[in-house]
Amino acid sequence: FEPGQSCSLAALAEHMRAGLPDYMVPSAFVVLESFPLTANGTVDRKALPAPENILLRDEHVAPSTETEKTLCRIWQEVLGLEELGITDNFFSLGGDSMRVVQLVHAAAKVDMHFSAQDVFRHQTVGGLAQHLQTYVTDRGKKGDAAPLALLGKISDYLADCPSEIEDVYPATQMQSLMIEKHIEGVKYGGVYAPQQLFSFSDPEFNPEALAISLTFLMQKHPILRTTFSYCEDSRQYLQFVHRDVELPLEKFDLTSKNQDEHKAFLNDFIVEDAKRPYTFDGKGLMVRYRLFKVSNSDWKFLISTHHAIDDGWGFVSFINEMFECYERVKTGDKLQLQHAAVNVFKERVALEVEASQSKAKQEFWRGQHEQAETMPRVTFGREPLVYCSKRLVIDSPLFSKLKSFAQAYNKQLKTLFLFSYYKALSALLKQNLITIDVVTSGRSERLSDPVHALGLFWNFVPMHCAMGKEELLPALELLQTKLIDVESNGNALFPLNSIRDRSAYACFNYVQFHHSKMGDKNHKRNHVNVEYASDKFHHAIDFFTSVNVDGSKAISEVNYWDGLIDVRKIDLLMELYIEALENLVDLADVFVADKLGIMD
């Protein structure tokens, strides 16, 4: 740089990124005619003006090439933004692993091919476009698709199965874990057995149209026709896909009951349903539907599933599809069944088998495990346990400041929430090294349809983080790097059987509701509302953070087993969590050249 030459701030930042880690790249620049000096001739830091906290993305850099324009259009569609520039960071704008997969598939539709790992490495439109000019990802190369051939030996079991069985393959380690914990905690009611109650306030509600829609979806999605059974020969759970199943729908008429009576009936029914265990004998389905008629214009619909066939993304996809089908049938349309060429969840099983045979992934996890300290184990014993929940809403101004901080320092919101949770747990447990099971999507770009497929693609990834006196920005960078390492290299698919003896004490789940047509709990769609939802994990503490559809607020919810954890500790945990978040935003206006410390 020479005096008198013009230089854009974006170009200056891009030049610095080429030789510096992200956390060392300034988030704001102040232009001065000259530096104020002390009497000794050194820079008078106290006389320096404070930065105006103008984020680099405020200087919009429009796309210029056709590649940049196409990428910007796809990014805007996936991220739900009206405008972005080629220097904007994908993850600081709200991107996450699922949106990366959506991005890859959306680009492929316009014959632009790159991998998820390309996005993790080149996080701006400008960087990715430049990468694509010099390197074209061959997504059709051998080994890119899910290796279904690895399931060949298991498919031999199909020859011994009744003709009603369409397919058979192993359960994933995550499915097996949830089945085992469900059996272990059955007396506590509904461990890994989520329930959701919808209300229809519609005088034109058509129960037959709903039944037709559910039948159609049962035929379309193999996972809804799947049962499980333990195989002694192979010493693992197998899952069996049935060709035809009877719709598991029960109907109840509550019109003779008054308001208090039908509410009491529903409450008791939901509690008893949670206590009713699922069976793993190769016959019992993992889903139950119940329809309650309260009046001619008021209906309740309860969906109960076992988590072995369901994750959060897939459930919302199912709900969206169910209501779309219902509306079509209600208006006279006929649903046409087109069988998918492949079973997408079977691909997920094959990817896990492949991961279990990878020496690189074994080395990755071996290095992770060496960092772990012994954590309190969670076991269901004879003590009375009640699953409880506490919730807090993070809205303006705190949430706005968190988003600004994320954009300024190119950090995912997920990283900020997870880091603050680590800090809070470390203070609560008085332990520096904390292990948390972080929920990852498991929806690889190598799946034929990762966005719309149903099934348990989730995985619990044990992540270890040391909470000491490190500087804040390097600590955040390290945590985000860990998250990216897990998601970008397929390490999240590594089977849990190698780490089953390292059961984590706590869990963290982060969801950004960017694909939900239902919206948040108070948003009604076509006379439909969510009245009740329950989802019990086996960890002592489950921490669930979500960002609502319009991105205006975040909701953090702590679920815990009262009997293992005292409620006073949960209250303290939430106080420490908010304190950690506030400490982050308090530092957002501090000039990046200063050394930043974390919470004492």
pLDDT tens for 129-170 read: 988 887 654 444 434 778 888 887 776 777 778 889 999 999
> Assign residue 297 a region: left if phi > 0, alpha if psi is -120 to 50, beta otherwise?
alpha
Mean pLDDT of 43-67: 68
Query: Per-residue pLDDT for 53 more than 50?
Result: no
**Most confident residue range from 16-20, 94-98, 330-334, 430-434:** 330-334
Task: Answer whether 352's CB lies under 8 Å from 172's CB.
Answer: yes
Summary mean pLDDT of the chain:
82
With bands split at pLDDT 50, 70 and 90, how would you rate the model's confidence at 437?
confident
What is the pLDDT, as a whole number, of residue 484?
Answer: 82
What is the pLDDT, as a whole number, of residue 360?
Answer: 82
What is the pLDDT, as a whole number, of residue 543?
Answer: 93
What is the pLDDT, as a whole number, of residue 160?
Answer: 77
Strand ranges across the sheet with 236-242:
165-170, 236-242, 226-231
Buried b / exposed e over 181-201, threshold 16 CB at 10 Å, is bbeebbebbbbbbbbbbbbbe
Instruction: Give residue-wise pLDDT tens across range 398-421.
Output: 998 898 888 778 888 899 999 999
521: tokens are 């709990």
Instruction: Give residue-wise pLDDT tens across range 360-400.
Output: 887 777 766 665 555 555 555 556 788 999 999 998 889 98
What is the pLDDT, as a whole number, of residue 55?
Answer: 43
Query: Per-residue pLDDT for 45 more than 70?
Result: yes
The enclosing H or E element of 345 equals: helix 344-356
Mean pLDDT of 197-215: 95
Q: Which domains does the chain have, with CATH numbers?
A: 9-134 (1.10.1200.10), 148-330 (3.30.559.10), 358-586 (3.30.559.30)
494: tokens are 């590594």
What is the pLDDT, as a whole number, of residue 60?
Answer: 73
Instruction: Give residue-wise pLDDT tens across range 90-134.
Output: 887 878 788 888 899 899 889 898 888 888 888 889 989 988 887
d(CA 439, CA 511): 10
594: tokens are 């200063």
Buried b / exposed e over 104-141, threshold 16 CB at 10 Å, is bbbbeeeebebbbbbbbebbbbbbbbbbbeeeebeeee
Mean pLDDT of 163-184: 92
User: pTM, whole model, 2 decimals?
Assistant: 0.82
84: tokens are 């972005």
Q: Residue 244: helix, strand or coil by DSSP? A: coil
